[in-house]
Structure 1
Amino acid sequence: MSQHTEKDQKTIPLTLGALGIVFGDIGTSPLYAFRESFLGHAHLEVSPFHVFGVLSMITWSLILVISIKYIMVVMRADNGGEGGIIALVSLLKKKSDDNSNFKKWLIIAGLFGSALLYGDGAITPAITVLGAIEGLELVSNRFEPFIIPITIGIIIGLFSIQRFGTGKIGKVFGPLLLIWFSTLALLGIRGIFLNPGVLVALSPHYALAFLFSEPGTALLVLGTVFLVVTGGETLYADMGHFGAPAIRRAWFFLVLPALLLNYFGQGGLVLSNAAEVANPFYHLAPEWALIPLIVLATLAASVASQAVISGVFSLTRQAMQLGQLPRMQVVQTDGQAFGQIYIPLVNWMLLVATVLLVLMFRSSGNLAAAYGIAIALDMVITTVIVLVVLYGWGWRRPLLALLALIFLPLDIIYLGANLVKFFDGGWFPVIVALSIFALMSIWASGRLRLRSATQADLMPAQTFVDRLPKSSILRTPGTAIFLTSLSDGVPTALLHHLKHNKALHENVVLLHVEVLPTGRIKQDQKISVEKLGPNFHRVTFNYGFNERIDVPRRLRQCKPMGLDIDPAQASYYLGRETITFKSKGSLIRKISNSIFAFLNRNAGRATIFFRIPPNRVVEMGAQVEI
């Protein structure tokens, strides 16, 4: 009985937290998705045939894309409990036996897919908060001049509370989203009572009939219907915050039923009075409940942004750990939950981009045109990589072929439907993605060239140790730990230390920290200690990208392996390179070199990244030509 109670005590908060963080994006789509299906690019006439067709498309999009694809299939492709497209790329990298060009292109596509989510991270807060605040126009026209300032104020407030962490935010947002989804369901039931016949649209027949009878118009409508599933990618990226079981429970028991009821309620309302299509969500509420509903929708819209922001934090940390982005400050907001983090620089950059979007587009209808392309392309990439990963895990070929036949055509149709919106705003997330992807590529290739340059003509560590007894180098008391990006060879920092000080500590450790493409590392693979000579060791610490790097803590764990040192009393030596570039190269290469040099100079301090005591660190400068 006690075990069951303890399990419930963990299950309920996790499910409620997942509700508050993960489902905000997909849960606020009723504010604008059904309306824009009629008022957007398609300019769809309100008729039973069209209403049934749109509702059927919405229903089966939620079932096929979210319930089956993401909840039941994609979330099984986790990397140590962590989700998101970077985690998928890591799973591909782990297959060292497969170095085919296909796998390399998949990895590139996956990295570009991760970059696409940054554009979404800016659009989602803008469209959801703006869509909620626009309800004030129904109260009085006098509110119209204040909609943009109020929206920007709420967005600034939302990004300002990120430092408290997703766990604490989830505790507040979870109950709020519980009220929100309950309200969605009640409003939907009220609308369905106006026209119960709308429930026939649960059949996929109406979606297919619309697609085949008016293919051109239906394709345009699909580009807007896609707004109901745009939260799928962030749902997967947020998996590491609360875990797959909590997300599945929240979706099937509350979120999906509430969304379907509300969409069908809007359909029933519009069938009863076609004029209500101008804002069917708010017109579902009785007049006395309009202002409370606007307040609730505004709060829920703020939560909607949280799902994307948290997902972007997770993707950024994974990219940093795997060497795709420069080091940035990562604040661990929960002492136990590794996935709950806050990245200040990313947070404030997203804030600036979101405010600019609100000022540029000025309405949720205009933003709907910019929304979708990035996520649609991301979904195609995710589907392909997931199928490849599951194939590598031994899933049966007939099952994978069936999944491919279901998911890929659907994803490609959605992508085609969204491409028509490119010049109406869809260019924004694409430009953002290309910029982020370019930075990733410049950083990763630059680090690779830098590593190659520092490895050139290196003396093997064993050779250096063998020569030490014959040299005139003085040995002073204490322990020196030289951090190096090399798994072999004598680090440049050590050679410069000898050059300037003519002495070496009595105990020397060459420490290499390696982040592997997996969420967590097995206990017996975390530490490798190799004795090169008397009081001279080479140590390798292996981490997963879902683990916090803590060098002093890991050093204390080396005692059973014959390395007994006090991390608090050791001196840590780090190399800091000043990069110069060879004069040869095209203009593009010179530009990329300048960008890499800037990123390298402004990367986060290694002391923070490795959790090393700052007062025990010595940095040795070196000039490296690449």
Structure 2
Amino acid sequence: MKGAKHTTFLTIGAIGIVFGDIGTSPLYALQSIFHLSGLSFTSADARGVVSLILWSMTLIVTIKYMSILMRINNNGEGGILALVGLVRQTKSSRKSLILFTLIGILGVSLFFGDGVITPAISVLSAVEGMTLVAPSAASFVIPVALAVLFVLFLVQSRGTGTLGKFFGPIMILWFVVSALGGLSQIIQAPEVLQALLPTTAIEFFLNHPLPSFLAMGAVILSITGAEALYADMGHFGKKPIRLGWLLVIFPALALTYLGQGALISTHPDSISSAYYLMFPDALHIPIIILATIATLIASQAVIAGAFSIIWQATRLNFLPRIQIVHTSRNEYGQVYIPLLNWLMFSIVVAIILGFGSSKNLAAMFGLAVSGTLFVDSIFLLIIMRKLWRSNYFKLALVAVFIMSLELVFISSGLSKILYGAWVALVMSAVTFILMSTWFKGQTIVRAERKKKEDLLEDFVKRIHAQKTPRVKGSAVYIGHHANRAPLALHAALSELHELHEKITVVTIKTTNTAHVPEAERTTIDNLGNDHDGISHLTIRFGFKDMPNIPRALELVKSDSPELYFDPYKSTYFTSTIEPVIVKNRKMALWRKRIFLLLSHNANSKSDYFKLPTEHTIEMTTFIEL
């Protein structure tokens, strides 16, 4: 019984957090499809479009994500970076692993391009409903939307806190109301139920090939947020997300889209506000208020998702260290990134002012989404082949029924480049350039650093041979390569000419798994010289773990009390790399300059690793790039 209650609780939570984006798509999806495709508002066209939506949701969300991808997890975690971590664990060549990593970076870049647009189109489409009640208020739509979004981004630093527990009930109310509105229209035009048949979508596509193709670029709007369903698997578990989708979300969305199709069939002039016009005039104001709240919840989830994925990207060394604030003592994964928060807000403001309406925004939305879906499918094929050992017939099924549909989404989306899709592409391209440049630059720096670092065993022997003076106290040297003497240790010896009597050399490893249990966090390595006060420790963090070195060092007390020292009173030495641009063919000059800019603006290691600032010394080392 307890298990059932817990699953129910998690399902309600998932409905409030996970499904906001896809759940608020009916506010703008259908009108965008007709606007961008040039289809007429006939009963047959309405049924055909709704059928395209329903079967796209069936193939992509229900079959691909719910049935297949959710079987894949990285220590319980899902999402694009979890897939990157898994494929990097496969037995593949170095070139293949680099290619997989770049594909993953592309997926993250597309996800970010999509995530920035979502708050703009969601909130704007909800606020536009006020023109139904007061047509004269049209001039206030943009100011009101911007004010609402400003408050949303302003409160991000405080986290959702206790408000989060209300998201589930509010979104359930949203889905129930939407379903009832749709049902009321279906009753008046039951012939719209033909859209449930796959033959309706197929016949519609065959009879109207060009308009249907153009429509697919907007049909993708009905499945935005599909990646989020998978990415949040680690937070809620696959069972609650599956239950929420199959029992609540999918049926509610199906009724909503069918209801909108029925309304358009009987009242073609309702296309501009098909969602709101499903309801009686007397309910418009409360429905608009509910829609605004629902889009705020959806936007909140997207923003939080952007924070989370950028944080994970920094952990995997795809981005430089940036300031990250934890907004909850209980929920470890709730983070706030000030720089990203206000960058996203600035872009959202520019997008709304530049495009002016949700109808215009729809043209730029979707291409990044379909690209993200396709990247997930690429990783799905790799995992099916390399980890599951699936035969080529199963791979072909995925390629034919899922990836071919996603390619149609992408191709159709490309036709909207001149109408706004270029904005999402530019944002994704800039993100990809920054991330791939940092990844490439760090690869070069690591290789050059390794050349400068002696084997730790040889370094220790040299210390003994030189009889280096030792002073009281303990020191921790942060390294990046196992069995290598950190550059900070070299610098300290050459500049101070003495070492502490108790030295711990720490090698930090970020694993391809999301989390590392505390029992597996630290490993003590034998250097072959007993009782010399020098020990080597490997500390492992998953890409979703917050790297707190002092806390990790406290774990040594129970494992090896003879090596224990107070990590909060020790002196920490870290090496800061100062890249120097030289002429070579390792990387293009313009990318070197970008890497240098990113490096200079990276957060300090003491903040990143939670080192006590007053006890931390950073040693600078110059490395040619």
Q: Provide TM-score, normalisation by structure 2.
A: 0.95
- In the TM superposition, residue 350 of structure 1 has moved relative to its aligned partner by 1.1
| Residue 549 of structure 2, aligned match among 538, 548, 551 | 551
1:572 aligns with 2:572: yes
8 A contact 2:102–2:436 mirrored in 1: no
Deviations 1:491-528 (A, max 9, x none): 22122222332211001111111001112336664322
The SS at the match of 1:328 is coil
Q: What's 2:611 paired with?
A: 612
Aligned counterparts, 1:476-495, within 5 A = 476-495=471-490
Counterpart of 1:450 in structure 2: which amino acid? V
Q: State which drifts further: 77-86 or 25-34.
A: 77-86
Q: What's 1:538 paired with?
A: 536
- For residues 473 and 272 of structure 2, the distance between their equivalents in structure 1, rounded to whole angstroms, comes to 75
8 A contact 2:31–2:359 mirrored in 1: no
- For residues 257 and 505 of structure 1, the distance between their equivalents in structure 2, rounded to whole angstroms, comes to 67
Deviations 1:5-62 (A, max 9, x none): 3x34533332222212211110111111112222x12221122211111111111111
| Residue 204 of structure 2, aligned match among 190, 200, 210 | 210
| Residue 142 of structure 2, aligned match among 148, 156, 161 | 148
1:36 aligns with 2:35: no
Counterpart of 2:603 in structure 1: which amino acid? G
Q: What's 2:444 paired with?
A: 449
8 A contact 2:117–2:365 mirrored in 1: yes
- For residues 381 and 105 of structure 2, the distance between their equivalents in structure 1, rounded to whole angstroms, comes to 17
Q: What's 1:13 paired with?
A: 9
Counterpart of 1:21 in structure 2: which amino acid? I
Q: What's 1:294 paired with?
A: 288
Report the CA distance shift for 1:390/1:526 in structure 2 as closer, same or farther (over 3 A).
farther
Q: What's 1:187 paired with?
A: 181
- For residues 474 and 281 of structure 2, the distance between their equivalents in structure 1, rounded to whole angstroms, comes to 74
Q: What's 2:593 paired with?
A: 594
Q: What's 1:235 paired with?
A: 229
- In the TM superposition, residue 78 of structure 1 has moved relative to its aligned partner by 1.8
Counterpart of 1:414 in structure 2: which amino acid? F
8 A contact 2:20–2:297 mirrored in 1: yes
- In the TM superposition, residue 166 of structure 1 has moved relative to its aligned partner by 5.3
Cα RMSD for the two superposed structures:
2.0
Aligned counterparts, 1:123-522, within 5 A = 123-165=117-159, 168-394=162-388, 396-397=390-391, 398-521=393-516
- In the TM superposition, residue 377 of structure 1 has moved relative to its aligned partner by 1.5
The SS at the match of 2:320 is coil
- In the TM superposition, residue 405 of structure 1 has moved relative to its aligned partner by 2.3
Report the CA distance shift for 1:169/1:601 in structure 2 as closer, same or farther (over 3 A).
farther
Counterpart of 1:153 in structure 2: which amino acid? A
Report the CA distance shift for 1:531/1:105 in structure 2 as closer, same or farther (over 3 A).
closer
Q: What's 1:76 paired with?
A: 71
- For residues 417 and 452 of structure 2, the distance between their equivalents in structure 1, rounded to whole angstroms, comes to 51
- For residues 403 and 187 of structure 2, the distance between their equivalents in structure 1, rounded to whole angstroms, comes to 37
Deviations 1:259-315 (A, max 9, x none): 111111111112222222222111111111111111111111112212322222222
- For residues 299 and 213 of structure 1, the distance between their equivalents in structure 2, rounded to whole angstroms, comes to 40
Counterpart of 1:240 in structure 2: which amino acid? G
Report the CA distance shift for 1:162/1:242 in structure 2 as closer, same or farther (over 3 A).
farther
8 A contact 1:120–1:308 mirrored in 2: no
Structure 2 portions without partners, runs of 5+: none
Report the CA distance shift for 1:271/1:457 in structure 2 as closer, same or farther (over 3 A).
closer
Report the CA distance shift for 1:217/1:491 in structure 2 as closer, same or farther (over 3 A).
same
Deviations 1:468-509 (A, max 9, x none): 233242211111100012223222212222233221100111
- For residues 469 and 606 of structure 1, the distance between their equivalents in structure 2, rounded to whole angstroms, comes to 30
- For residues 270 and 485 of structure 2, the distance between their equivalents in structure 1, rounded to whole angstroms, comes to 74
Q: What's 1:621 paired with?
A: 620
Counterpart of 1:193 in structure 2: which amino acid? I
- For residues 91 and 506 of structure 1, the distance between their equivalents in structure 2, rounded to whole angstroms, comes to 42
- In the TM superposition, residue 103 of structure 1 has moved relative to its aligned partner by 5.2
- For residues 212 and 161 of structure 2, the distance between their equivalents in structure 1, rounded to whole angstroms, comes to 41
Counterpart of 2:371 in structure 1: which amino acid? L
Q: What's 2:89 paired with?
A: 94
8 A contact 2:126–2:295 mirrored in 1: yes
Q: How many residues align?
A: 619
Q: What's 2:19 paired with?
A: 23
- In the TM superposition, residue 357 of structure 1 has moved relative to its aligned partner by 0.6
The SS at the match of 2:377 is helix
Deviations 1:123-145 (A, max 9, x none): 10111111111111111222111
- For residues 168 and 194 of structure 1, the distance between their equivalents in structure 2, rounded to whole angstroms, comes to 42
- In the TM superposition, residue 366 of structure 1 has moved relative to its aligned partner by 0.5
- In the TM superposition, residue 403 of structure 1 has moved relative to its aligned partner by 2.6
Structure 1 portions without partners, runs of 5+: none
- In the TM superposition, residue 321 of structure 1 has moved relative to its aligned partner by 0.9
Counterpart of 1:548 in structure 2: which amino acid? M
Q: What's 1:581 paired with?
A: 581
Counterpart of 1:574 in structure 2: which amino acid? T
| Residue 61 of structure 2, aligned match among 57, 66, 74 | 66
Counterpart of 2:541 in structure 1: which amino acid? Y
- For residues 142 and 522 of structure 1, the distance between their equivalents in structure 2, rounded to whole angstroms, comes to 59
- For residues 99 and 571 of structure 2, the distance between their equivalents in structure 1, rounded to whole angstroms, comes to 43
Counterpart of 1:16 in structure 2: which amino acid? I
The SS at the match of 1:174 is helix
- For residues 97 and 565 of structure 2, the distance between their equivalents in structure 1, rounded to whole angstroms, comes to 43
Counterpart of 1:537 in structure 2: which amino acid? S
- For residues 355 and 270 of structure 1, the distance between their equivalents in structure 2, rounded to whole angstroms, comes to 32
8 A contact 2:582–2:624 mirrored in 1: yes
8 A contact 2:550–2:568 mirrored in 1: yes
- For residues 95 and 496 of structure 2, the distance between their equivalents in structure 1, rounded to whole angstroms, comes to 49
Percent identical across equivalent pairs? Answer: 35
Report the CA distance shift for 1:525/1:552 in structure 2 as closer, same or farther (over 3 A).
same
1:108 aligns with 2:107: no
The SS at the match of 1:369 is coil
Q: State which drifts further: 516-525 or 497-506.
A: 516-525
Q: State which drifts further: 462-471 or 599-608.
A: 462-471
- For residues 276 and 111 of structure 2, the distance between their equivalents in structure 1, rounded to whole angstroms, comes to 29
Q: Provide TM-score, normalisation by structure 1.
A: 0.95
- For residues 474 and 9 of structure 2, the distance between their equivalents in structure 1, rounded to whole angstroms, comes to 46
